[in-house]
Every structure is written in structure tokens, then in C-alpha cells.
């Protein structure tokens, strides 16, 4: 993710937002009654901020082409891979079809570029249309249902048209994204088996309805002879490797994973060999008869769920080795 890769992007998003708010407050407080509204200043500040975000995202998308990331080390004692692609290579199953995975990655990247262009246009056209209407540069209003019906500012029509086009293309884009993701993850032995559902629910106290996305994106497969399930929600992920073990828990402490008390000795020893890493801080391990489950707070887009898959499989191997003694 660009947010994680670029300090300049983080600085622009946070610092730029603070700067825009400061400009709006300063100009608003110093504007005297009878002065011309400072639409130009407001529009310029917001426009530069949004344009900077779009430009940096475009460069980030271009630099994120498949194969642009580092490869994974084969010896994890020196540390786990820092990049999503490195983690993917570390977890790729022996004999996997590399060509299918590369083709899926290329299609996913092309689709990301294809979606970025209309999304960027919407991000530019809608605020621009609002600015042109509020400033009085374009005052026309389209009233498709007649003079007594609702009106839409003419300046906003290009942006709204792009929104409609994106909405109409959504089912097709979702199908293509799912196929590309399955191909990309084929080397991991995982495929999407469920996606979030879109539902309408009543809004309490308003008499209207609201749109809600419920349920995770779920990937399932067989890895090393064990069933694996990965659930991805908007703000969390969960990885389950279905290898029954003795019950124990573990959580991060000072970049290391600390077993709960009590914990079986084999689990303590296995966790002691896990490399120290700052990325463990948001995860929790719960093991028992259902298997080894690793939960994480955060987006699935950063690929850290693959860290959790590696950890769960490492613990599963340690459990099986202990049972075989």
C-alpha cells in the first residue's frame, strides 16, 4: 500500500489536510462583510491537495507493477520478508503454476489502472463542478422532471455521469477482480469462496434505508494437507489452519509473540523461534480443537494476513511434530 511505502504520501495526506483547514480558517476569519467570497482561494487549496494525492497515487500504482517488489529470502531466521510479494513467494506451494499466478497479477494490475482513471476523474470532476456552481461560474441547473422537480447543477453532470458509469460496470469489474485474485493466489492453494453481501437496512429514527456491506471475503484451500480458511473484513483478518492442538493463546509483546499462561512447551519453543517483527503487534493467536486461528486488526490490502498464515502453519507443524514423538 502506498500509505505504508511512502513517507511523502503520508506527509502530504495528513499535513496537506491540516494546511487546507488552516487556510480555510485563516481566510474565513479575515474575510470582512461585503468582501467577495474567497472561493478562488478555497478552490485552489482543495484542488492542489486533491491533485497531489491523485498524482502520487498514480506514481505509486505505476511503481507497484508485478515483479517490482523484493523476492523472499529462503532462510526465515534472518527475518520475514518485508513486502507482500516476498511473503507470497515464501508461502508458494511446491509445484505451483507460476505462469497462472503471474498472469493473475498482471490482470489485477491492469484492472487497478483501469479503475484508477475513472475514479480519479470523479475525484476531480465532482469537486470542480461544486466549485464552479458555488462560485457562480456555471449557474445552470438541469431539472429532468420539470420546474417543480429536483434540480442537478449542470457543472456536476460530468462527475455524476462517471459515477453512473462506474456503478453500471461494478458487477463486471467484481467478476474480473475475483478471477484475477484467484489466479494470483493459485500458488498459495487458495481461492475465493464467499464475498461480502450488499443489503439495505432501515435507518433507526429516520424512516429511510441505508446501504450496508456485511460479511467477509473468504478464501479457502488445502495447504500441506490441511484445510485453510482466510476471512478478510474491512478492518480485520482471520486465518484458520484446521490442525487440532492443545488449547493455548499468544499475543504480541515488544515485537515478539508471547505465549499465554499456560501454554504447551512445544508451542513456547516454536514461538521462541519466530523472528522478531513489528508487524506482530496487531495479532492474536487462539489454538484449540478447531485448529490454530490468528486474528489481526487491520486491512487485508497490506498482505499481512500472509504473515499470520505463515505463523499458523509454523505452529501446526510444531504441533504435529510433537504428537508424532
- Enumerate the H helices of the chain as residue ranges: 2-5, 7-30, 39-63, 84-91, 98-135, 157-184, 265-272, 305-324
Query: What 3-state DSSP class applies to 201?
Result: strand
Tens-digit pLDDT profile for residues 138-147 = 889 998 888 8
What 3 state SS string does 51-95 have?
Answer: HHHHHHHHHHHHHCCCCCCCCCCCCHHHCCCCCHHHHHHHHCCCC
What 3 state SS string does 230-272 have?
Answer: EEECCCEEEEEECCCCCCEEEEEECCEEEECCCCCHHHHHHHH
User: Cα separation of 81 and 90, whole Å?
Assistant: 8
User: Cα separation of 88 and 179, whole Å?
Assistant: 18
Strands 236-241, 197-202: parallel, antiparallel or unpaired by DSSP? unpaired
* Class of residue 267 by CB neighbours under 10 A (exposed 0-12, middle 13-18, buried 19+): buried
User: Block means of pLDDT (10 residues each) for the chain, length 325 residues?
Assistant: 73 91 88 83 88 86 59 58 88 89 85 86 90 88 84 91 90 89 91 83 65 83 95 92 96 88 93 92 93 90 89 96 86
Query: What 3-state DSSP class applies to 153?
Result: strand
CA distances from 173 to 176, 209, 217, 254, 303 (A): 5, 26, 16, 42, 21
| pLDDT score for 72 | 44
Chain Cα centroid distance, residue 68: 19
Tens-digit pLDDT profile for residues 210-262 = 666 778 899 999 999 999 999 998 889 999 999 999 999 999 877 889 999 88
| pLDDT score for 73 | 47
Who contacts 298 (Cβ-Cβ below 8 Å, separation ≥6)? 235, 236, 237, 282, 304
DSSP character at residue 284: E
Who contacts 277 (Cβ-Cβ below 8 Å, separation ≥6)? 79, 80, 255, 307
Tell if the pTM clears 0.85, that is, is over it. Answer: no
User: Cα separation of 157 and 73, whole Å?
Assistant: 52
CA distances from 305 to 222, 256, 280 (A): 17, 17, 11
Amino acid at each position: 500500500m502506498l500509505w505504508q511505502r511512502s513517507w511523502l504520501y503520508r506527509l502530504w495526506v495528513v499535513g496537506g489536510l491540516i494546511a487546507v483547514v488552516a487556510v480555510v480558517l485563516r481566510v474565513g476569519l479575515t474575510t470582512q462583510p461585503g468582501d467577495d467570497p474567497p472561493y478562488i482561494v478555497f478552490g485552489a487549496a482543495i484542488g492542489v491537495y486533491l491533485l497531489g494525492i491523485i498524482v502520487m497515487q498514480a506514481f505509486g500504482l505505476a511503481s507497484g507493477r508485478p515483479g517490482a517488489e523484493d523476492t523472499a529470502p529462503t532462510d526465515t531466521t534472518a527475518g520475514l520478508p518485508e513486502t507482500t510479494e516476498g511473503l507470497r513467494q515464501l508461502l508458494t506451494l511446491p509445484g505451483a503454476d507460476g505462469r497462472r499466478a503471474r498472469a493473475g497479477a498482471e490482470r489485477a494490475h491492469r484492472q487497478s489502472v483501469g479503475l484508477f482513471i475513472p475514479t480519479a476523474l470523479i475525484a476531480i470532476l465532482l469537486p470542480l463542478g461544486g466549485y464552479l456552481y458555488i462560485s457562480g461560474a456555471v449557474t445552470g441547473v438541469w431539472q429532468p422532471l420539470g420546474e417543480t422537480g429536483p434540480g442537478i447543477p449542470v457543472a456536476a453532470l460530468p462527475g455524476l455521469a462517471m459515477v453512473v458509469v462506474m456503478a453500471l460496470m461494478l458487477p463486471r469489474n467484481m467478476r474480473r477482480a475475483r478471477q484475477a485474485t484467484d489466479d494470483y493466489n493459485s500458488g498459495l492453494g487458495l481461492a475465493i469462496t464467499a464475498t461480502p453481501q450488499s443489503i439495505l437496512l432501515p435507518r433507526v429514527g429516520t424512516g429511510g434505508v441505508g446501504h450496508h456491506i456485511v460479511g467477509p471475503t473468504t478464501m479457502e484451500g488445502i495447504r500441506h494437507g490441511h484445510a485453510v480458511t482466510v476471512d478478510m473484513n474491512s478492518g480485520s483478518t482471520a486465518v484458520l489452519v484446521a490442525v487440532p492442538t492443545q488449547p493455548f493463546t499468544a499475543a504480541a509483546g515488544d515485537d515478539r509473540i508471547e505465549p499465554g499462561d499456560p501454554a504447551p512447551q512445544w508451542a513456547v519453543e516454536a514461538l521462541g523461534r519466530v523472528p522478531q517483527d513489528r508487524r506482530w503487534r496487531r495479532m492474536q493467536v487462539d489454538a484449540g480443537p478447531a485448529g490454530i486461528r490468528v486474528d489481526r486488526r487491520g486491512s487485508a490490502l497490506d498482505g499481512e494476513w500472509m504473515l499470520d498464515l505463515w505463523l499458523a502453519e509454523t505452529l501446526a507443524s510444531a504441533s504435529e511434530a510433537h504428537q508424532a514423538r
